[in-house]
Structures are given as structure tokens and as C-alpha cells.
Structure 1
């Protein structure tokens, strides 16, 4: 990225509570790159964050928890699937700052085996002291969360409700900030990335990165996502909307264009949280060549897409590809039977 060495994105007007230990490292993957014999692959280690088992949602939670504390909240409620990484990290962050936490978890994924229902993130939710509401997959989790918040408010509690994946415009600021971090690191490493590859679930990480690059006056089209939640049309529409809402907070004079959102649905498979053979292969490849652990729901599928694009020549030899490794390690234990 041919930019000034220290791009500055001023987010100081937004309440924020530090949950990360500093920038997450960018690391080269030489053995994996050699194995694929194509593009040069790097990873942004969003899994290397200390709180609650780590993961990308902590960037969003810095701003969400910051806003909750600024509003005087004593309780935070959020929603997600049974094995939600965001729910687990919301519970951990709440424990860190002294908020009560309630999680509204839906049985969105058609699995009922013991590992999925009780291990992985769900085990950690309980350890962090969160109260879990277990709802069927057909339930409207956000509506339930708002109704529960009103019950608690009637008891005198001050409740902050956080959306799916923490992907509100405020939450997405965490990844606008990450865009500036990537640019600064790229300059320090004397690297220019041709593609930045991410998973797209609730869309907040993708939207935030795009909004950040646009705010910095840079090419946002280099961010390429693989949807793991909805089909391409749905993911594109929601991500574009979130990116523009986030950019409105940063600089209302700017706008994200439709073609700045690049989404591929080739790795979605039968649906959210449902394993695919390419995901299993990608998880094994990363683990066996670099000793790094991808999760089965998000980064496993997105990395499978990266691998297929390299082997097909879509990402050409000599190109430098940055994969944003989002964390979610506890999910591997919930999906033990798949490996």
C-alpha cells in the first residue's frame, strides 16, 4: 500500500475501553506459501488477543463496551448462535469490566450432539459467569433480548443490548481502526498486500475494514470476503449498508460504493456452521504446515477459499495475500466429531 507511514484515523470522539494488548502481529507463512506454490501468504493474527480465549470480536467490543460504560450500563445482553464467538467474548469482556452479562443463544445450526451443545464456547460462557438463554433456531433472538432488557429495566437495571456479532456501526469502528493498523504495519514491513482476505458472517469485520480504507483514502476493493452466513446477495447488501453506516460516523462526507464490497459464496456450503470438506482440508493444511489453528465456522471456510483461489491461479504467483485470522479456536472442540 503506497501510503504515508502513519495513517491516522481519529476515533477519539467515540467511547472506548481497551481490551487488546496492542496491535496484533502480521506473520509470513513460508511453508504454506511454498506448499501452494503460488501467492505469498501472510496472516494477521487476530486470534492473538489475551482476553477470553481471543478473537476478532474484541476489537468491536472495545467500542461496544466503551459505549455501554459511557451510558452507565450495569448489564449487557447480546445474541448469537449456540457456539457464538461473539457471545463468549462479550461474556469475558463483561467479566473484565464488572458488567452483568446475559446471552441469548439460538439453535441456528442443525446440530444436537453433546460437544456442540455443551463444549467449546458454551462451556466458556458459563465460566465467565454469563446467564444463557437457550432458544430454538426459529426464535427472534434480538426481540427476546429487547424484551428481557425491558424486564431488567423495570427492576431498575441499566441494560445495553448488543446486536448479532457486535456488528453495529459502533462495533464496526473496531475494524476501521484495524484498517489503519494494517496500513501502518504494511509500511513498517515494507509490504504491499494485493488482497486482504476475511470471512464474512455478520459482516462487521468486512464492513469496518472497508469503511476504514475509504476513510483513509485507500482502495477498499482489495478486501475480499468469503461469506459463511448468508448468500452472496444478502451478504453484499448487509455489508455495504454497515460499511456506509460506519463511514457516516467517521466522515459523513464519504460513501462506500457498491463495487468496493467483494464477496464470494463458493465456500458457504449447505449453510452457516455446517462443515464442508474444503473447510476440513483447509484447517488440516494450516495446522500441519504452520502449526496454526483455524476455526470450523469462519476462518476455516474463508481460508479454504483463499487456498482454492491460489491453486486456481486467481491469486497469482508473486502476489502478497493477507489473511485476517479471526480466532474462534473453542469452536474446534464443539466440532470434534468432524475431524
Structure 2
């Protein structure tokens, strides 16, 4: 899969980081899913592996744990005592940030953006929202859902008020023009994958990740390229169409390269975004989402959520069916967690219950 993690690790050493995650996360073979697809297609498929970042610890885990270790490291280095963050109502990012803040003794303010229209009470009060409250986060509701600049402007207003009250807030923003500190978490994940791949003699021929804010996608892609891995990294769109997401991933990749001072490592042609399993919009389920939830549970006892992981797993399944991995030996799927959001979608997953 790769040569050595040493050069990549050297770039990450010394950067501010708060170590709260449970790492390394497991790497497991999805034998029953691969067997199901092989039987369906009437031919062998590659070995399908899952990187279990749903097991990363801290408030049910997920990919945000890796990302926020570096964000909170930067916040502590800046002397902050308050985390101010924005995201969707059922944001895994905000839930994990609230948990980090609680562990570190910081105040936390979360801004809930209404990105998914037409959702009922269980969506607005259960799942991640319930956990936000349990971790002591102060809630701020924002009516718009697809205007990152407006959300960040309002977040700045909240931070300004906190400063007037004598607080030292640190803003956690995800807009495409901010310094992509969160991407460092998945560069660190690449180092971990190096070690597991070498120890298990499991060279991976392709990688599949969800692509939303793009921190996981960018960190994985840039980290792998810095490590010398040249295989495809498929980003499965969970919020935007492929064209918009490709532009976003490339833009953030360039910011990340600049942040590391490594020059342009990732060519534009390496940015792969697929929106075949996105559906009408962020947070809305389609048939492939339902299928992924069903197959993951019945065949592998994996829990995937309707917003991120079910859609990205649907991408892995769809790409396998389409022959995208023909002739390959091992394909890796990164499971980015998101368990609490599942409970906000109970009636959508089982509408007749």
C-alpha cells in the first residue's frame, strides 16, 4: 500500500494536539458483505475492509474525534476557554466538540443550522441534539442551512458577545476558505493505516471515504499522497453534487498543502467525487441508503447513519457492482461513525413501524 509512515509523521510531529481518542481503531474484513456481492454478481469481488473509526472513543466516536484533536490543540495553544461551533442540527462535529469541551473544562456554544427541511420533533430533539445538551453545550438556532458564510458571520457575532463578557472564544468553522486544521486528523489516520497495512501484509488498492465538509477526504487523500500511495481515493458526496464537491475538495487540498508547506502534491485529476448515492440533498434518504443500512446491519453488524456512513457505504457497494475495483485485491472503506444521528431518523428508516 505504502512505503513508510515516517516522512508523513515528521510533518505532523510538533503540531498542537489534544489526545483524547482511542487509537488505533480496528481494521476489519467485511467477509459477508463481499460474499453477498460476489454471489449477486456471479464473480469474485475484492476483499472489502472497514476502518472502524466509529470506535474512536469520545461520545460514541466517529471521524470528528481525529479532526478535533488538532482543532482543540490549536484552541488550547491560543489560550481559549470557550468553543464556538456551527453545524447541522444533527451534527456529529458539534456533538464531539461539546464532548471535548466538557472533558477539557471549556464552555461550548453550538449553532444549529436548519439544513434538512421537513423533519419532525425526534430530529430536532433526539440523537446528537440530546447529547449536545448532556455535554452542557449552550444552543443557538440558525434558520438557514446552506449558507456557510452567513452561518460563520453569525458565529462571529456570538464570539464577539462572548469576548465582551470576558471569555476567550475559539471559532470552529468548516467553510472552504478557512485553515483546514481538521484535515490533519486524517493525515494522522494515514500513518495508522500504514502501520496496520504493513503489520497485516494487506496492501490496499483503493480507498472509499465520505465527502462532506471535506476534512476527512482531504486529509486522507493528501496524507496518502505524501506517503507515496498512488491508488484511487473515492469521495462519496453526502452534501453537494460532484462538481461542487470536487471544487471544494481541491480548494481545501491546496489550503492544506500550503499549511504544511509541501507544495502541490495532489494533482487535480486525483480528486474523485461521486454523487450517485447522494439523493435529493443532505440528510435525505434514498433507496440505496436504506439498502446500505440493511446490509451493514444484517451482514456485518455495522451501524451506519443515513447522513454520512450509509451513503458512503452505498458508494462502496455501488462501485463494486459497477466494476470499479475489478482486478483489485483489497479495498478499504473508512467508517466515519455518526451513530447518534440514527436515532433521529427512526421513522424515516422504518416508516411503517
Q: Could you say whether these structures have the same fold, taking a TM-score greater than 0.5 normalized by the shorter chain as the test?
A: yes
* Contact kept in structure 2, 1:7 and 1:183, CA below 8 Å: no
Can you list the C-alpha shifts for 1:9-56, whole angstroms capped at 9, x where unaligned?
Answer: 221231110021221111111111111112211000000022111110
1:55 partnered with 2:62:
yes
Q: What is the root-mean-square deviation in Å for CA atoms of aligned residues?
A: 1.7
Q: Structure 1, unaligned stretches of length 5 or more?
A: none
Secondary structure in structure 2 of the residue aligned to 1:27:
strand
Q: Deviations over 1:209-262 (max 9, x none)?
A: 11112222332x521111111111111111111122112222333432101111
Indicate conservation of the 8 Å contact 2:3/2:227, yes or no: no
Which residue does the alignment assign to 1:15? 16
| Distance in 1 separating the partners of 2:157 and 2:203 | 48
Which aligned runs of 4 or more in structure 1 are off by greater than 6 angstroms?
A: none
**TM-score (structure 2 length as normaliser):** 0.92
C-alpha distance in structure 2 between counterparts of 1:112 and 1:253, whole Å? 44
Which stretch of structure 1 is more off in the superposition, 178-187 or 157-166?
157-166
- Alpha-carbon deviations, 1:64-113, whole Å to 9, x = none? 00010111101011110110000100000110111100001111111331
Counting only pairs closer than 5 Å after superposition, residues 246-285 of structure 1 correspond to structure 2 as 246-285=256-295
Q: Distance in 2 between matches of 1:282 and 1:46?
A: 18
User: Which of 190, 201, 205 is 1:179 aligned to?
Assistant: 190
Q: Give the structure 1 partner of residue 219 of structure 2.
A: 208
Q: Alpha-carbon deviation of 1:316?
A: 2.1
SS in 2 for 1:211: helix
Distance 1:36 1:168 in 2: 40
Q: Distance in 2 between matches of 1:207 and 1:33?
A: 27
How far did residue 317 of structure 1 move?
5.7
Please give the alpha-carbon distance, in whole angstroms, between the structure 1 residues aligned to 2:197 and 2:314.
24
Q: What are the equivalent positions in structure 2 for 1:97-176 lying under 5 Å apart?
A: 97-137=104-144, 140-164=150-174, 168-176=179-187
Aligned match for 2:321, one of 311, 314, 334: 311
- Comparing 194-203 with 310-319, greater Cα deviation is found at 310-319
The aligned counterpart of 2:3 is: 3
Write the distance in 2 (CA, Å) between the matches of 1:35 and 1:165.
39
Contact residue 215 and residue 251 of structure 1 kept, 8 A: no
Q: CA 1:315 to 1:217, structure 2 compared with 1: closer, same or farther past 3 Å?
A: closer
How far did 1:165 drift? Answer: 8.4
For the Cα contact (< 8 Å) 1:24–1:45, is it kept in 2?
A: yes
| Alpha carbons 2:108, 2:137 under 8 Å: kept | yes
Which residue is 1:65 aligned to? 72
Secondary structure of the 1:42 match is strand
- Residue 142 of structure 1 and its aligned partner are, at CA, apart by 1.2
Q: How does 1:73-84 map to 2 (within 5 A)?
A: 73-84=80-91
Question: Which residue does the alignment assign to 2:92?
Answer: 85
Give 2:300's aligned residue: 290
Structure 2 SS opposite 1:104:
strand
Question: Could you state the TM-score of these two structures normalised by the residue count of structure 1?
Answer: 0.95
Is there any run of 5+ residues in structure 2 with no aligned partner, and where?
39-44
- Matched with 1:29 is 30
- In the alignment, the residues of structure 2 paired with residue 16 and residue 102 of structure 1 have an alpha-carbon distance, to the nearest angstrom, of 21
Q: Could you say which residue in structure 1 is the equivalent of 2:41?
A: none
How many residues of Structure 1 are paired with residues of Structure 2 in the alignment?
Answer: 338
